[in-house]
């Protein structure tokens, strides 16, 4: 159909892009993870010492485990918030659908940083929430666990990623033909039964996509822990950032990045398999 020259010209830019900005950096990162730093100088000497450090120093495992817990909590909370929201909008919002949809999307227009600082002013010891609690005498002293804690990180990430979870779920719910819901009720299934037997299975691809978004994006996040996490809320990306930006131990940072990449890729592989199982076209 198309000439060879045409195909080459059309496919060259994206291939170049992927090569230059994806494959090359990953290759460099991968190579770095097997090198070392001696007296502040990068030594191109191939070895596994970085990975040994990761396995032997319990700090890394601890932070990685905490990161996975936080990402998992964000995923769960966003699903618990995003799914009912999407369900309500898709099935029961009637004429307010457009408006509500816009309201869910609007936070995405606000800068990540601005929202981070907003949470600081809400959760801080002099913050809005503590002021409220003290004003109504729920407490006499500022509640300290609100800010600079894993809780604050989960809260902020959930706020940021819920729209990302909402969107694919909403899209999959909108694609469910309404006669299927009627058919289920017609056959004697109550609304609850209809939800679990028809709506939930058919919205599974959207749910999986949303869950993956929330988990993977949270896993690599370093701004939320930086802004509201404190020392107890440090995540793995903060360590990578410190290793690259402050300590200049690029090889160790690269080794951690390779680990995160492997976790993410295996997760994507897993959810893709699941999504195939739940698609019926």
Partner 1 sequence: MSSAAIPQPVSVDENVPLLEVREVAKRFGPREVLKHISLNIASGEFLTLLGESGSGKTTLLRLIAGFEQPTAGEIWMTGERLDTLPPYKRRVNTVFQNYALFPHLNVRENVAYGLRVQGAPKNEIPVRVDDALNMVKMSEFAGTRPSRLSGGQQQRVALARALVNRPQLLLLDEPLSALDANLRKQMQSELKALQREIGITFLFVTHDQEEAMALSDRIALLRDGVLEQVASPREIYAHPASAYTAQFIGQTNLLHGEIRRSIATCGALRWPLEEADAPALFSLRPETIRLCPDGKRQTNEVKFRASVRQQIYGGASELLEVDCGTGQLLRVRLPACGPLTGEHDFVFYIADAIRVAD
Q: Which residue from 13, 94, 177, 245 is in contact with partner 1, where contact means CB under 8 A?
A: 177
273 vs 281 by CB, closer to partner 1: 281
109 vs 280 by CB, closer to partner 1: 280
The interface region with partner 1, picked from 14-22, 33-41, 194-202, 241-249 by CB under 8 A, is 194-202
Interactions with partner 1, residue window 202-261 (CB under 8 A) = 202
Q: Which residue from 13, 14, 40, 179 is in contact with partner 1, where contact means CB under 8 A?
A: 179
Position 198 contacts partner 1 (CB under 8 A): yes
The interface region with partner 1, picked from 122-130, 150-158, 187-195, 250-258 by CB under 8 A, is 187-195
Position 175 contacts partner 1 (CB under 8 A): no
The interface region with partner 1, picked from 47-55, 60-68, 88-96, 178-186 by CB under 8 A, is 178-186
C-alpha 173/C-alpha 162 separation (Å) is 16
Q: Which two tokens stand for residue 200?
A: 């939930």
Interactions with partner 1, residue window 11-70 (CB under 8 A) = none
58 vs 188 by CB, closer to partner 1: 188
The interface region with partner 1, picked from 185-193, 206-214, 224-232, 243-251 by CB under 8 A, is 185-193
Min dist CB 84 to partner 1, Å, is 21
Min dist CB 100 to partner 1, Å, is 22
Min dist CB 212 to partner 1, Å, is 20
Position 183 contacts partner 1 (CB under 8 A): yes
Q: Mind giving me the DSSP string for the chain?
A: ---HHHHHHHHHHHHHHHIIIIIHHHHHHHHHTT-EEETTEEE----SHHHHHHHH-HHHHHHHHHHHHHHHHHHHHHHHHHHHHHHHHHHH-GGGHHHHHHHHHGGGGS-HHHHHHHHHHHHSTTSHHHHHHHHTTS-SS--STTSSSHHHHHHHHHHHHHHHHHHHHHHHHHTS-HHHHHHHHHTT--HHHHIIIIIHHHTHHHHHHHHHHHHHHHHT--HHIIIIITTTT--HHHHHHHHHHTS--HHHHHHHHHHHHHHHHHHHHHHHHHHHHT---
Q: Interface residues with partner 1 (CB under 8 A)?
A: 177, 179-180, 182-190, 193, 197-198, 201-202, 278, 280-281
């Amino acid at each position: 159909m198309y000439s060879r020259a045409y195909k080459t010209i059309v496919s060259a830019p994206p291939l170049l892009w992927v090569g230059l900005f994806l494959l090359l950096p990953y290759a460099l990162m991968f190579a770095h993870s097997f090198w070392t730093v001696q007296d502040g100088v990068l030594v191109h000497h191939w070895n596994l010492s970085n990975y040994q450090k990761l396995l032997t120093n319990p700090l890394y495992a601890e932070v990685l485990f905490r990161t996975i817990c936080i990402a998992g909590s964000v995923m769960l909370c966003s699903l618990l918030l995003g799914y009912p929201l999407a369900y309500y909008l898709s099935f029961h919002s009637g004429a307010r659908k457009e408006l509500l949809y816009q309201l869910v999307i609007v936070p995405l227009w606000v800068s990540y940083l601005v929202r981070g600082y907003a949470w600081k002013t809400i959760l801080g010891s002099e913050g809005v929430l503590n002021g409220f609690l003290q004003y109504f005498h729920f407490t006499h002293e500022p509640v300290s666990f609100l800010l600079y804690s894993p809780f604050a990180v989960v809260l902020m990430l959930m706020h940021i990623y819920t729209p990302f979870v909402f969107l694919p779920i909403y899209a999959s719910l909108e694609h469910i033909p309404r006669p299927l819901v009627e058919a289920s009720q017609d056959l004697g299934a109550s609304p609850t039964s209809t939800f679990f037997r028809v709506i939930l299975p058919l919205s599974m691809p959207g749910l999986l996509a949303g869950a993956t978004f929330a988990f993977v994006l949270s896993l690599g996040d370093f701004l939320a822990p930086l802004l509201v996490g404190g020392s107890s809320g440090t995540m793995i990306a903060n360590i990578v950032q410190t290793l690259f930006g402050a300590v200049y131990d690029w090889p160790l940072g690269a080794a951690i990045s390779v680990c995160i990449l492997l976790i993410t890729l295996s997760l994507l592989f897993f959810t893709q398999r699941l999504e195939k199982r739940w698609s019926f076209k």
